[in-house]
């Protein structure tokens, strides 16, 4: 991918992260919602840090166009297993349309990420994993996404809220 295209995707992705953070903060003000929250040296796209000790830490990874999306659940599950978090963790993995196939299926990259996330959820105490579709296509060939992406991000925030039961 050319440098200008990479920058276009990166800029758009930052806007998506900020919109998601703001939408989650509006729906769930009891949490402090941050972008680029760090677990060790790993930046997490959006994190919801709860005020209460019993509530889980919510980590949201947004995959626009990553070559290896399985790396995110692997690292975060390993950190949970090694005791890096002082509370339960809920990882929500959002996948853009980049990972959708024309036949209605999903790419093997997404399947692999969901597989390792589900394994971690089943075998690591205090770690839960959910995968959701973010019905947004990353920009290509210099095109600017239309404003519909904002509604889609807001819908993703609502879906995350449903998972949390808050």
pLDDT of 2 above 70: no
Nearest 10 degrees: Cα torsion 154, 159, 163, 165: 70
| Residues paired with residue 48 on neighbouring β-strands, in sequence order | 33, 58
DSSP-assigned beta bridge partners for residue 62: 94
State percent of the chain over pLDDT 90.
Answer: 71
Distance in angstroms (rounded) separating the CA atoms of residues 166 and 150: 22
Q: How far is CA 158 from CA 17, 22, 68, 72, in A?
A: 15, 12, 26, 22
Per-residue pLDDT at 10: 82
pLDDT (tens digit, 9 = 90+) per residue, 143-152? 667 778 999 9
Do 89 and 121 contact (CB within 8 A), yes or no?
A: no
SS3 61: strand
pLDDT score recorded for residue 123: 97
* Assessment of whether the complete model's pTM goes beyond 0.85: yes
Written as one string, the DSSP assignment of 89-144 is EEEEEEE-GGGB-TTS-B-HHHHHHHHHHHHHHHHSTTEEEEEEE---PPP-TTPP
What are the tens digits of pLDDT across the range 68-108? Answer: 999 999 999 999 999 999 999 999 999 998 888 878 778 89
pLDDT at position 24 is: 98
pLDDT range class, residue 4, cuts 50, 70, 90? low
- The helix-helix angle for 108-123 and 71-81 (nearest 10°) equals 10
Extents of the domains making up the chain: 3-164
Is pLDDT of 36 > 90?
yes
- pLDDT, tens digit, for every residue of 107-129? 899 999 999 999 999 999 999 99
CATH fold for the domain made of 3-164? Restriction Endonuclease (3.40.91)
| 85 secondary structure, DSSP code | -
């Amino acid at each position: 991918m050319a440098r200008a295209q990479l920058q276009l995707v990166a800029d758009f992705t930052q806007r998506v992260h900020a919109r998601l953070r703001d939408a989650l903060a509006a729906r769930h003000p009891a949490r402090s919602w941050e972008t680029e929250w760090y677990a060790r040296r790993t930046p997490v796209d959006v994190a919801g840090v709860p005020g209460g000790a019993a509530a889980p830490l919510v980590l949201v990874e947004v995959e626009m166009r990553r070559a290896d999306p399985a790396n995110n659940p692997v690292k975060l599950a390993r950190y949970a297993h090694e005791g890096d978090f002082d509370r339960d963790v809920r990882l929500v993995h959002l996948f853009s349309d980049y990972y959708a196939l024309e036949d209605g299926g999903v790419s093997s990259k997404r399947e692999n990420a969901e597989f390792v996330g589900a394994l971690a959820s089943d075998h690591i105490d205090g770690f839960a994993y959910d995968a959701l579709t973010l019905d947004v296509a990353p920009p290509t060939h210099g095109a600017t996404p239309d404003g519909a992406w904002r509604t889609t991000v807001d819908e993703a925030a609502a879906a995350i809220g449903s998972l949390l039961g808050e």
